[in-house]
Amino acid sequence: MIGGKTMKVIEMNEMEVAQTPHQVDVRKLISYKDATIVHITLEPRESLKMHVTPVDVCFYVLEGDGIVEIGKEKETVHKDELVFSPAKVPHRLSNESENTFRFLVIKTPTPTEETKIL
């Protein structure tokens, strides 16, 4: 259960845009001890800064195409693809297209340390 209820419905558009060093649309949808799920929108030519998370992370592409860099690997990803990024490996996502790129970030477990911007 989360917050005393069995079901919790979260409306992404009702969530506040978080103030992050990335300076893009980042909205934390839910966070509890086992996982944190974040929605990120990158408009054309926007990107996240290269960073390291202390936990494993998955990226699930909801819309558009984007570039994912993990360590020394770089690949274009598309809608309905899932990418795994292990803990403590530098990574970033960017939008080099003319279309919106939206994805979910799933961190497991919820980090107890801060993400480190490189």
Rounded Cα gap, residues 29 and 107, in angstroms: 12
pTM comes to: 0.92
| 18, part of any domain | no
| 5, part of any domain | no
| 19, part of any domain | no
Rounded Cα gap, residues 70 and 84, in angstroms: 9
pLDDT at 1 over 70: no
The total of structural domains in the chain comes to: 1
- Note down the domain range covering 57: 26-117
Q: What is the pLDDT of residue 5?
A: 74
| 10, part of any domain | no
Q: Strand, helix or coil at 71? A: coil
pLDDT digits (tens, 9 = 90+) for 61-89: 999 999 999 999 999 999 999 999 999 99
Q: 113: domain CATH number?
A: 2.60.120.10
Amino acid at 62: L
* DSSP secondary structure letter of residue 55: S
